[in-house]
Amino acid sequence: MRLLTHNFLASNVKGVSTGYPLALEVAKTSIKEVELNVDFLRGILPKIDWRALFAATSAAGFPELLAAEQPPEAELFAEGAAAVEGSAIRRLHHALLEIHVEEGTLVCPDSGRSFPILKGVPNMLLHEDEVRH
Amino acid sequence: MSAGDGAAVSAVEGKLAELSASCDLRTLPKRGKSASARTLNTAQIQLVAGHPEVYEPCDDSFALVDALLSDKAQLLTLQPSLCMEVGCGSGYVITSLAIMLRQLGSGTQYLATDINQHAVETTQATLEAHGVHADVIATDIVSGLEKRLAGMVDVVVVNPPYVPTPEEEIGMKGIASSWAGGLNGRQVIDRILPAVRELLSEKGCLYMIALEDNDPLGICHLMNEKGFASRVLLKRCTDEESLYVLKFWQDAAAGANASQSGRSPRAESWLSQLPFKSFWHKNAGSS
């Protein structure tokens, strides 16, 4: 699971109103490089919960990757930034699409229910008595 | 059901039986000319992972992938940012989608869900064997994604559990979850559709398989009431079943027309090519 997906995942346990963001506990990560696509990042950025992404990158062991408070938009989409090693947009790309959480846990902030991540797959399956009807 | 409806249904059945005889001519060939296109544009069967508790790629999977291939130009024009498969099973379909849209590069990201834990592992293996990536989540339909992903997904593909079964077979673990569809095979489909409608973006499309028994026309009508136009991309008859691949997309006119006249001109455009047009008119007239 990449941090992009973590950013869109919420706790689905019965009785929980927000269940977001899920706290991330990371036991193992892997890095898989993919080509950077500025248009994708520009399109997805308004939908990203930046605080949740920042917390997730820190939990995954990359606390210096992103600005803590908000996305530095001017810097991110500055002309030619994508070609510059270590630029803000490269770091955002790395955070969203290249860090894979292989083993770990997602924890619901409201109920404390934990969801295991095994072999890269978060398990959001609920027991019968946890499902909303 | 009134006697009139009963007669209409028998008429439809009669016409469909007639159609079955010539059905092969109406579908894409499974081998021959399309075989090379499939090899280049889809997952390779010998690289698809397997597990005793996971549904193997079968006629329905091939029909869905062939329908996606037939719509590849539109998919590329759409330039989807997020694509998703609900119920990914072996991973054959989401892997094929990622391969056929490969030229969009990392501008397109993929998600896949399945309620069967063996299936999510199998899908991971199939994706890896083909060098493509999707984030795979073990969950019931889209549970956990419905809030934050609302209105964001551009392409959803679903090969749902559509086989009519006793209701109690729904909710069984393992491979049964890939086919057990309850009454008329609609019980899971009818949970998937509203969930997917919430996730689709304004330009988003849903590609879904339905069986004759699932009442594909009724599904189109239902989606039309919710503002979605529809089209049959492919119909394929096998010895055991008649499969449809339906495509749905948002269309402001669809809902408006549905509320005025009870039917949609968009739906009619494809219905006119199918034998149950008379059935549709009869129902629309009596409602």
Residue A132 is assigned to a structural domain of this protein: no
Q: In total, how many domains does chain B have?
A: 1
Quick one: pLDDT band at residue B11, thresholds 50, 70, 90? very low
Q: How crowded is residue B148: how many other Cβ atoms within 10 Å of its Cβ? A: 17
Lowest mean per-residue pLDDT among A80-89, A92-101, B24-33: B24-33
Could you tell me if B156 and B84 are in contact, meaning their C-beta atoms sit under 8 angstroms apart?
A: yes
CATH of the domain at B14: 3.40.50.150
Rounded Cα gap, residues B213 and A55, in angstroms? 48
Rounded Cα gap, residues A124 and B117, in angstroms = 10
A8/B contact by beta carbon, under 8 A: yes
Contact, B54 vs B118, CB < 8 A?
yes
- Scored b (16 or more CB within 10 A) or e, B89-113 reads bbbbbbbbbbbbbeebebbbbbbbb
Q: Which domain holds residue B117?
A: 3-286
DSSP string of B194-257, one letter each residue: HHHHHHEEEEEEEEEEEEGGG-HHHHHHHHHHTTEEEEEEEEEE-SS-EEEEEEEEE-HHHHHH
Residues of chain B with Cβ-Cβ distance to A36 below 8 Å are 106
> Residue B107 contacts by C-beta under 8 Å, 6 or more apart in sequence?
A37, A39, A40, B79, B81
Question: In this predicted structure, what is the pLDDT of residue B210?
Answer: 96
**Distance, CA of A89 to CA of A69 (rounded, Å):** 16
Chain segment B63-95, per-residue pLDDT in tens: 999 999 999 999 999 999 999 999 999 999 999
Interface A–B counts its CB contacts (< 8 A) at: 78
Q: Minimal Cα–Cα distance from B106 to chain A, Å?
A: 6
Specify the CATH number for the domain of residue A108.
2.20.25.10
pLDDT at B35: 52
Lowest mean pLDDT among A11-20, A41-50, B4-13, B130-139: B4-13
Q: CB A125 to CB B139 under 8 A?
A: yes
Looking at residues B228-237, what average pLDDT do you find?
Answer: 95
The answer to ipTM > 0.90 is yes
Q: What is the pLDDT of residue B267?
A: 47
Residues in chain A: 133
Supply A11's token pair: 């706790």
Which pLDDT tens digit goes with each residue over B124-177? 999 999 999 999 999 999 999 999 999 999 999 999 999 888 888 887 778 888
Is the Cβ pair B107, A97 closer than 8 Å? Answer: no
Q: Is the pLDDT of residue B7 over 90?
A: no
Residue A37 lies in a domain: yes
Q: Do B148 and A34 touch (CB under 8 A)?
A: no
- Residue B172: the pLDDT is 77
Q: Which residues of B touch A (CB under 8 A)?
A: 81, 105-109, 111, 115, 117, 120-121, 124, 133, 135-140, 143-145, 147-149, 152
* Count of structural domains, chain A: 1
Query: Does a structural domain hold residue A133?
Result: no
Tell me the pLDDT band of A132, cut-offs 50, 70 and 90: confident
Q: In this structure, is residue A61 part of a structural domain? A: yes
Quick check: A123 and B140 CB within 8 A? no
Angle at B287 between CA B210 and CA B215, to 5 degrees: 10
Comparing A82 with B38, which gets the higher pLDDT? A82
Give a yes or no: residue A45 inside a domain: yes
Task: Give the range of the structural domain holding residue A116, as residue numbers without chain letter.
Answer: 3-124
Instruction: Please tell me which of B100-109, B163-172, B239-248 the model is most confident about, judged by mean pLDDT.
Output: B100-109
Band (B279; pLDDT cuts 50, 70, 90): very low
Token pair in block for residue A36: 């950077």
